[in-house]
Amino acid sequence: MLDIKFVYDNRDLVKENIKKKFQDAKIPLVDEVCDVYDEKRKIQQAADNLRANRNKLSKEIGGLMAKGQKDEAEKIKEEVRKQGDELSALEVKETEVEAKLVEILMNIPNMIDPSVPIGKDDSENVEVEKFGDPKVPPFEVPYHTDIMESFDGVDMDAAGRVAGNGFYYLLGDIARLHSAVLSYARDFMIDRGFTYAIPPYMIHADVVTGVMSFPEMDAMMYKIEGEDLYLIGTSEHSMIGKFKDQIITKDKLPITMTSFSPCFRKEKGSHGIEERGVYRIHQFEKQEMIVVCEPEESMKWYNILWKNTVDFFRSLEIPVRQLECCSGDLADLKTKSCDVEAWSPRQKKYFEVGSCSNLTDAQARRLKIRIKGEKENYYAHTLNNTCVAPPRMLIAFLENHLQEDGTLYIPESLRMYMGGKDKLIPKYNSITVKKK
């Protein structure tokens, strides 16, 4: 959420920013919120005048009573009562106008960083850099669920009977691999100085609206019927929410945390054949990272965060690339964002496995996360990034480490989490045999 004073003083700049995000329908919101702000200031001025006048009259009452002029004092008391009623009405109106002001501001997108490429949607995102050599093996790589099935490692049919589409059972070596990746990610981030946390998996509505835009909330969140609780779509939601209404002293900054949680998402709409299996699902686990920092340090932390993800995947010998999100692909609260994409030998292209975002003070304003200043408090900057999110990450792992004999290579960095194994042996060869 933008500062209303910034919007008021920079209307054309804010409108141009909306155009760059290809959300022209929101341009009228700028003038609308400025008109509401004018109305708010008029009400505040009228209320302040009434308060000042009441104080003046109250002093006069005291003087008259001291002189024994009770009748005159009673007349002024009646005037004070009338002005009190007027003030109460203005205060109600002020609250209503303030709520309307916030409602509009929450629909105006954050200012994008000047470095963000301009584009309409994710098809215009820009590749920045590749890490590792993407290779295609001399054999056909099966679909990821076929590889999992060769280890008796997945049961989508049973999950469908129990919970419906978009769920899964992971079994045996594949389930162990899933857990091993998360355990390694936890230790990887702790070794980089991040504080490990396991957060609440449900949050109140005011936290939801503090961490994300309304369209995101509608598309993602599951509401607990009859309660003011939502299942988290990522642990970033409850991790940033941890600092709601807090004033943080400078000596506590930066706050760097890494969190594990299950994640629950509606995943509305049809996503195509390449997103069947365990690519786009309603429930998954993730190791996340968040930062709360001084405003001038947020871009430094942005670069640290996405590089952490690259380093993690490279330590597992998986080629990745960084993809800069264009203006039209930025969610409303984000000022800058990039995806980390892993190489798919089967598809011969990259696909998203993580996303890093700098939200500047947009979340902090909504949640009232402030830093204690010498003269006055000011809003912190918040950032978030995915370290790893299996089982989607398993797709990249399986495809990049599948061997021609059907075994699965385990990189050295993961072996201690897999009981020392350097490979997994399938129940049958997924490359040459189809399971009945």
pLDDT for residue 37 is more than 80: yes
Annotate 366-387 with b (16+ C-beta within 10 A) or e (fewer). Answer: bbebbbeeeeeeebbbbbbbbb
pLDDT band at 123 (very low <50, low <70, confident <90, very high): very high
* Calpha distance 417→430 (Å, rounded): 25
* pLDDT score, position 259: 97
pLDDT band at 49 (very low <50, low <70, confident <90, very high): confident
| Beta sheet of 230-231, edge-to-edge order | 202-203, 230-231, 222-223
Q: DSSP assignment, residue 279?
A: T
Of all residues in the chain, the percent with pLDDT exceeding 90 is: 80
Mean pLDDT, range 81-97, rounded to an integer:
87
* Calpha distance 388→395 (Å, rounded): 12
Write down the mean pLDDT value for the chain: 92
Q: Which of 77-91, 120-134, 205-219, 394-408 bottoms out in mean pLDDT, i.e. has the lowest?
A: 77-91
Give the CA dihedral 430, 413, 167, 340, nearest 10 degrees: -100
Tokens of 190: 């702790």
Across 29-33, 157-161, 390-394, 427-431, which has the greatest mean pLDDT?
Answer: 29-33
Mean pLDDT, range 382-395, rounded to an integer:
94
* pLDDT score, position 386: 96
* Calpha distance 124→411 (Å, rounded): 34
Strands (E), 325-417: 336-344, 349-358, 370-371, 378-379, 381-388, 408-409
Helix (H, G, I), strand (E, B) or coil at 359: coil
Strands (E), 96-145: 126-131
Radius of gyration of the chain (CA): 28
pLDDT for residue 377 is more than 60: yes
Report the half-sphere exposure of 1 (CA within 13 A, side-chain side). Answer: 24
Mean pLDDT, range 271-295, rounded to an integer:
83
* Calpha distance 85→103 (Å, rounded): 28
Mean pLDDT, range 331-352, rounded to an integer:
96
pLDDT for residue 325 is more than 80: yes
pLDDT for residue 349 is more than 70: yes
Give the CA dihedral 231, 239, 182, 350, nearest 10 degrees: 80
Across 41-55, 153-167, 263-277, 317-331, which has the greatest mean pLDDT?
Answer: 317-331
* pLDDT score, position 268: 58
pLDDT band at 169 (very low <50, low <70, confident <90, very high): very high
pLDDT for residue 429 is more than 80: no
pLDDT for residue 272 is more than 70: no
pLDDT for residue 31 is more than 80: yes
Q: What's the chain's length in residues?
A: 436
* pLDDT score, position 61: 72
Q: What pTM does this model have? A: 0.89
pLDDT band at 51 (very low <50, low <70, confident <90, very high): confident
* Calpha distance 70→103 (Å, rounded): 49
Mean pLDDT, range 263-290, rounded to an integer:
78
DSSP 204-228: -HHHHHHHS-HHHHHHHPEE-TTSS
* pLDDT score, position 382: 98
pLDDT band at 50 (very low <50, low <70, confident <90, very high): confident
| Beta sheet of 126-131, edge-to-edge order | 126-131, 320-324, 336-344, 349-358, 381-388, 283-293, 255-264, 195-197
Q: Hey, what domains does the chain have and what are their CATH numbers?
A: 4-105 (1.10.287.40), 122-424 (3.30.930.10)
Mean pLDDT, range 23-50, rounded to an integer:
94
* pLDDT score, position 275: 55
Regarding beta strands 283-293 and 202-203, do their DSSP bridges make them parallel or antiparallel, or are they unpaired?
Answer: unpaired
pLDDT for residue 433 is more than 70: no
Which residues, including other chains, have CB under 8 Å from residue 123's CB and lie 6 or more apart? Answer: none
pLDDT for residue 346 is more than 70: yes
Q: 336, 112 in Cβ contact below 8 A?
A: yes
pLDDT for residue 435 is more than 60: no
Of all residues in the chain, the percent with pLDDT exceeding 70 is: 96
Mean pLDDT, range 336-361, rounded to an integer:
97
Mean pLDDT, range 200-211, rounded to an integer:
94
